[in-house]
């Protein structure tokens, strides 16, 4: 029976070893690339946590994971990283639905304004023409402000700002300008916000294709 596992598993050993405390230092974990999981590859810290789940499994159990898709899926979905990402995806769906409802409400308001302009045009044509032009300009500004491209651009700028802030905080920690407890709290908050916005950005880019 041929292994079916994903391509990124091919380059790794089928008998993972337990990472020692010297092989993965706290500094290395903090400096992991935060965008690696978004590209479909686990970061070194994530890979270490996955290996920790595998270290107590027997050879037969590991071989079953490689050959049995259902067993692999059950193990995969039991990982904390996967559960966290599924929760984020649920939040993303809810936020997307909320954005859709807001956009529908704005479209209804724009439709009402058009109807009002039609009534005005039949009674006070000159004034209505000026008013219509003004309303159309407002509509264009609103649609431009809430266009998918504009929203994605704002999201991308926000992601860049969060990434920059987290890197600055990390540098302060390396220079011992901040203690570990406040660093962990602030850094976790920044990276959580960054990854949440990154998921929204990827979902938006995908929906525009």
pLDDT at 39: 46
Q: How many angstroms separate the CA atoms of 10 and 36, rounded?
A: 18
- Find tokens 């049995």 and name the residue: 68
pLDDT at 187: 92
pTM attached to this predicted model: 0.33
pLDDT at 70: 84
pLDDT at 38: 43
Ordered mean pLDDT values, 10 residues apiece, the chain (209 residues) = 47 42 42 45 70 72 78 77 83 88 81 80 72 85 78 89 93 90 92 91 80
pLDDT at 171: 92
pLDDT at 33: 45
pLDDT at 44: 77
């Amino acid at each position: 029976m041929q292994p079916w596992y994903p391509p990124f598993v091919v380059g790794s050993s089928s008998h993972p070893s337990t990472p020692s405390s010297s092989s993965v230092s706290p500094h290395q974990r903090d400096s992991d690339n935060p965008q690696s999981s978004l590209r479909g590859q686990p970061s070194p810290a994530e890979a270490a946590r996955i290996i920790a789940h595998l270290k107590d499994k027997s050879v037969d159990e590991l071989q079953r994971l490689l050959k049995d898709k259902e067993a692999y899926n059950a193990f995969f979905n039991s990982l904390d990283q996967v559960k966290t990402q599924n929760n984020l995806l649920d939040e993303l769906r809810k936020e997307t639905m909320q954005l859709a409802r807001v956009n529908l409400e704005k479209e209804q308001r724009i439709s009402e304004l058009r109807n009002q302009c039609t009534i005005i045009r039949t009674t006070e044509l000159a004034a209505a023409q000026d008013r219509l032009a003004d309303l159309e300009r407002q509509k264009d500004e609103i649609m431009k402000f809430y266009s998918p491209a504009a929203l994605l651009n704002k999201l991308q700028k926000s992601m860049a700002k969060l990434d920059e802030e987290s890197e600055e905080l990390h540098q302060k920690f390396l220079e011992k300008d901040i203690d570990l407890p406040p660093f962990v709290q602030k850094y976790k908050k920044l990276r959580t916000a960054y990854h949440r916005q990154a998921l929204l950005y990827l979902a938006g880019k995908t929906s525009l294709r």
